[in-house]
Amino acid sequence: MCAFLLAAALFAGEPRPNIVVLFADDLRFDAIGAFGNDEVKTPHLDALARRGTAFTHCFNMGSMNPAVCMPSRAMLMSGRTL
């Protein structure tokens, strides 16, 4: 057991960052408080936007027409277009 732990410590790489990608369907750019909506209370999304990285000028049309769920998600996660 000690040999295993020693080997694990020796070959361990640098710690990886924790990355969370949040897809909130059917939201306009100003649908949460962090981006200007005073009517809807979204404290958890606001906190994530304040402490993390938010795409404020990102547009994804999805397929050949306005956004379609599956193609839009695939394009955002892969960085490729259809």
Residues involved in catalysis: 69
Q: What is the DSSP-derived secondary structure letter of residue 33? A: G
Q: Would you say 42 and 32 are in contact if contact means Cβ atoms under 8 Å apart?
A: yes
- Of 57, 3, 9, 10, whose CA–CA distance to 29 is shortest? 57
